[in-house]
Amino acid sequence: MTRELQVDGLRYTYPDGRQALSGVDLVAETGERVALLGPNGAGKTTLSLHLNGILTADQGEVHIGDLRLEPDSLDEIRRRVGLVFQNPDDQLFMPTVGQDVAFGPANLGLSGTDLDDRVQTALEAVDAADLSDRAPHHLSGGERRRVAVATALAMEPAILVLDEPTSGLDPTGRRELASVLTRLPITQLIITHDLPFALELCGRSVIMNGGRVAADGATPAILANTALLRANRLEMPFGYDTSALGLGDAAGG
């Protein structure tokens, strides 16, 4: 397998002096789905904003495939890394779903039937082909989340980064999103507090805490390690049986 994402020694301090990342190392292989777990303030979203250059690290490097993130490669990196924000309203702002999905590729110069085909393919990938003419604010929460994913897919990215994708979804919306993400062959980094969702979708999980990687290992082993979860302010839902998840300690970061 080849590495789609490689982060080496990433450090970042906010203007107010708070250190958000303290030497983060992370890799993801092509086609791999990786859950990024951790308490609020752990640095997960800050890390995600470094992957396509929204934030610039004080130290360290980011590679997407064979391309190093730097000023000259920024446009291509932003095409390769599709960010799906926690709030779909941050991504859906056009009068119709089709126009939202077309916005990114149109800005790259795509037009005519090529643009129409790109939009159709992206919407079909998230089971939303029938929503093209709908107004985004008239959609259900689950539909809006899937359309937000489509706006990223329309750019034909190499990696999809999703920030709390199940936040605010009802069980049906959550199940539909899981079905879509499971089918996508693209590399995915899924930031989530929804530990059962991580278990369902991701073979591997990385825990961040205090701006560092605290653990990296197979998701069943991570979630079965109650001491590790407790130390990083994480817990499975009340009554969830972890006995079948398997034994073994996750690797520390």
Structural domains of the chain sorted by starting position, each given as residue range(s) with its CATH number in brackets: 3-89+157-252 (3.40.50.300)
Burial zone of 1 (CB within 10 Å; 0-12 exposed, 13-18 middle, 19+ buried):
exposed
pLDDT value of position 249: 45
Closest CA to 205 of 185, 230, 188, 182: 188
* 212 three-state secondary structure: strand
Q: How many residues does the chain have?
A: 253
* 232 three-state secondary structure: coil
* 184 three-state secondary structure: coil
Strands 3-13 and 187-191 come out as unpaired
- Integer Rg of the chain from CA: 18
- Residue 227's pLDDT band (cuts 50, 70, 90): very high
Note the pLDDT tens digit of each residue in 151-189: 999 999 999 999 999 999 999 999 999 999 999 999 999
Share of the chain above pLDDT 90, in %: 91
Note the pLDDT tens digit of each residue in 38-96: 999 999 999 999 999 999 999 999 999 999 999 999 999 999 999 999 999 889 999 99
Q: Is the pLDDT of residue 20 over 70?
A: yes
pLDDT value of position 13: 97
Note the pLDDT tens digit of each residue in 74-87: 999 999 999 999 99
Share of the chain above pLDDT 70, in %: 95
Q: Is the pLDDT of residue 250 over 60?
A: no
pLDDT value of position 239: 73
Note the pLDDT tens digit of each residue in 110-146: 999 999 999 999 999 999 999 999 999 999 999 999 9
Cross-strand pairs, 28: 5
